[in-house]
């Protein structure tokens, strides 16, 4: 997605050879106009998939997920990372291991909002090692919902998540794929769609 790639080139900063900072439009401040375009792009890529629900994880997945939900006219559910005061019963949970934090955390969704009749589009801001997406897929599976695909705003193609998810048979659509962050330079993979 050209608009997103231009934004990353303009405002992204390379923190290390594996971490890209995009706090000015995605992870802290949010650019609503760009998010709307991102939502349209996801909606277009999954237009014929019969999506009934979008599933994401707090916090940075929510903005792109809501915009995709707006375009596809379906509700958006976000998995919680912390226990909620009101969300206590009938939780579907999955364990997610973080390679960066070297810890496992539990994510949860109420079974009220995810059922066997749902066809789910999983959305997240970043794809690194794929553990968050796998956890969301596990939750969808536990709810007996089917998974139409996984939409990612920024995929780090040099990390394992993309091949892990694709090898498992998931359709993964990434709007920008970074091939390298070496030497402080953001390099992109050749775009295959559009
Ligand atoms: P890992 O697999 O590489 O170990 O990373 P992990 O999934 O544990 O991700 C830790 C957090 O870092 C996640 O956000 C993830 O989206 C984010 N992340 C991973 N790689 C990058 C990157 O290159 N740049 C940026 N900006 N973020 C990255 P989170 O902690 O769940 O936070 P949030 O969703 O509340 O923002
Ligand atoms: Na994040
Ligand atoms: Na995220």
3-state DSSP assignment of residue 64: helix
Ligand 1 atom closest to Cα of residue 81:
31
Q: Please give the distance, rounded to the nearest whole angstrom, from the Cα atom of residue 117 to the centre of ligand 1.
A: 30
* Confidence at 83, pLDDT banded by 50, 70, 90: confident
β-strands 76-79, 20-21 pairing? unpaired
Check whether 55 has a pLDDT greater than 90.
yes
Percent pLDDT > 70 in the chain is 98
Atom 17 (ligand 1): residue with closest C-alpha? 126
20 CB within 6 A, ligand 1: yes
Ligand nearest the Cα of residue 123 is 3
Q: Please give the distance, rounded to the nearest whole angstrom, from the Cα atom of residue 39 to the centre of ligand 3.
A: 16
pTM confidence score: 0.96
Helices (H) and strands (E) in the chain — how many of each? 5, 10
Q: Whose structure tokens read 């801001």? A: 125
Q: Please give the distance, rounded to the nearest whole angstrom, from the Cα atom of residue 153 to the centre of ligand 3.
A: 10
* Confidence at 153, pLDDT banded by 50, 70, 90: very high
Please provide the distance, in angstroms rounded to a whole number, between the alpha carbons at the two ends of the chain.
Answer: 7
Residue of 112, 108, 127, 107 lying closest to 53 (CA atoms): 112
Q: Whose structure tokens read 């949010």? A: 30
Measured distance CA(136)–CA(56) in Å, rounded: 7
Residue of 169, 171, 175 lying closest to 156 (CA atoms): 175
ipTM: 0.93
**Mean pLDDT along residues 59-73:** 98
Q: Please give the distance, rounded to the nearest whole angstrom, from the Cα atom of residue 123 to the centre of ligand 2.
A: 12
Check whether 193 has a pLDDT greater than 70.
no
Residue of 165, 185, 181, 182 lying closest to 173 (CA atoms): 165
């Amino acid at each position: 997605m050209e608009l997103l790639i231009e934004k990353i080139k303009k405002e992204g900063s390379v923190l290390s050879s594996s971490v890209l900072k995009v706090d000015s439009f995605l992870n802290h401040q949010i650019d609503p106009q760009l998010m709307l375009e991102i939502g349209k792009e996801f909606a277009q890529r999954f237009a014929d998939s019969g999506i009934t629900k979008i599933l994401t994880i707090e916090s940075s997945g929510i903005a792109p997920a809501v915009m995709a939900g707006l375009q596809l006219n379906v509700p958006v559910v976000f998995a919680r990372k912390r226990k909620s005061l009101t969300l206590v019963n009938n939780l579907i949970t999955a364990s997610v291991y973080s390679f960066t934090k070297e810890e496992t955390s539990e994510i949860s969704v109420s079974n009220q909002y995810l059922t066997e009749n749902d066809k789910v589009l999983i959305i997240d801001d970043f794809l690194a090692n794929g553990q968050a997406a796998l956890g969301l897929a596990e939750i969808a599976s536990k709810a007996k919902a089917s998974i139409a695909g996984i939409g990612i705003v920024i995929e780090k193609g040099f990390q394992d998540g993309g091949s892990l998810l694709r090898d498992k048979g998931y359709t993964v659509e990434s709007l920008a794929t970074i091939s390298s962050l070496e030497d402080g330079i953001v390099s992109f993979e050749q775009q295959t769609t559009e």
